[in-house]
């Protein structure tokens, strides 16, 4: 609508000018603004940097400087108003699309996790052949000899090179048996390669253990030092108590000989 209004203004001004004048300026004006269609196309190209503003604006200045001002107002308005609004609309659309994509990614991740848990439940059902609700180490090792079970573990990104270690990692309550919850949670925890958070957790636990060990060593050193000091004091007291008795015995022996 804005382009149409300015196109009508320029077309009427040019038509009036061409009726009263001729020459090179009139030819330029007819080339750019000879009809409403040409005017709209010229304004569109000027707005989109398809042509030089000077080439489209200079002929209008020959009619009157006010038309040059109209042209400048049109460019300024389209750039700072219309185009900014359009840019904002496109950006908002892109943001909403990205949010929608993020929701889709989260939904897909949750769906994949549900499918993974379902597969683990099927695998646990196969391992629990006696339907006791738990898997022992013997059952675990026996089933891992089956190529189909081994392939199923590998398809779930679970390393089964060491059955005993894997069993101990899954048996978190150390009851020599793995129930369904332990199996699912353990497999989710050890699935795939180690991540940065797993390494950071291990480093934290190592620091915690080292701090506890250093504290124990410090307390043991204090107890050893205290025991040493007490032993030293006890020996000193014992020596002090035995000294008078020895002196009395020596005096008694001297007196007896003299008698």
Render pLDDT for 123-149 as a digit per residue (tens, 0 to 9): 888 887 777 788 887 877 787 787 777
pLDDT of residue 259: 46
Radius of gyration (Cα) for the chain, nearest Å? Answer: 48
Residue whose C-alpha is closest to residue 157's, from 191, 109, 115, 112 = 191
Q: Is 185 a member of any domain?
A: yes
Q: Mean pLDDT, to the nearest integer, of 187-201?
A: 64
Q: Which of 171, 190, 209 finishes a domain?
A: 190
CATH number of the structural domain spanning residue 149: 1.10.238.10
Answer with the one of 144, 160, 190 that is the final residue of a domain.
190
Judge whether 54 lies within some domain: yes
Q: Is 217 part of any domain? A: no
Answer yes or no: is 240 within a domain: no
187/190 Cα distance (integer angstroms):
5
Lowest mean pLDDT among 72-81, 155-164, 173-182: 155-164
Would 243 be classed as within a structural domain? no
**Both 82 and 133 in a single domain?**
no
In a domain, 253, yes or no: no
**Residue 65 falls inside a structural domain:** yes
Gap between the Cα atoms of 22 and 17, Å rounded: 8
Residues 82 and 139 in one domain: no
Query: Looking at the structure, do residues 87 and 137 belong to the same domain, yes or no?
Result: no
Alpha-carbon span 107 to 215, nearest angstrom:
47
Using DSSP's 3-state secondary structure scheme, residue 134 falls into strand
- The total domain count for the chain is 2
Strands (E), the chain: 134-135, 178-179
Per-residue pLDDT at 249: 47
Q: What is the CATH number of the domain that holds 40?
A: 1.10.287.70
Which tokens hold the place of 210? 């080292």
pLDDT at 247 over 70: no
In this structure, the answer to whether residues 77 and 134 fall within a common structural domain is no
Those residues whose C-beta lies under 8 Å from the C-beta of residue 70, and which sit 6 or more positions away, are 6, 9, 10, 60
For 143, the domain range is: 128-190
**Domain boundary at 190, 210, 238, which?**
190
pLDDT score, position 54 = 77
Has residue 233 been placed in a domain? no
* pLDDT reading at 224 higher than 50: yes
Pairing of strands 178-179, 134-135: antiparallel
């Amino acid at each position: 609508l804005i382009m149409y209004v300015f196109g009508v203004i320029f077309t009427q001004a040019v038509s009036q000018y061409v009726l009263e004048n001729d020459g090179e300026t009139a030819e330029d004006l007819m080339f750019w603004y000879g009809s409403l269609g040409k005017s709209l196309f010229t304004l569109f190209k000027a707005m989109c940097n398809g042509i030089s503003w000077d080439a489209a604006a200079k002929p209008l200045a020959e009619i009157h400087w006010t038309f040059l001002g109209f042209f400048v107002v049109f460019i300024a308005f389209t750039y700072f108003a219309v185009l900014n609004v359009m840019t904002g609309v496109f950006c908002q659309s892109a943001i909403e699309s990205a949010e929608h994509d993020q929701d889709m990614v989260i939904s897909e991740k949750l769906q994949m996790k549900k499918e993974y848990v379902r597969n683990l439940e099927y695998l646990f059902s196969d391992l629990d052949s006696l339907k006791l609700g738990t898997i022992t180490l013997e059952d675990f090792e026996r089933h891992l000899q089956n190529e189909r079970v081994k392939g199923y573990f590998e398809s779930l990104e679970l390393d089964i090179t060491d059955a005993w270690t894997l069993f101990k990692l899954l048996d978190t309550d150390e009851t020599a048996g793995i129930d369904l919850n332990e199996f699912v949670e353990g497999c989710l925890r050890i699935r795939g390669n180690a991540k940065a958070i797993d390494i950071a957790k291990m480093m934290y636990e190592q620091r915690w253990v080292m701090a506890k060990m250093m504290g124990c060593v410090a307390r043991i050193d204090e107890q050893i030092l205290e025991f040493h000091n007490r032993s030293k004091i006890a020996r000193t007291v014992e020596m002090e108590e035995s000294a008078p008795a020895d002196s009395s015995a020596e005096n008694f022996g001297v007196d007896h000989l003299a008698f």
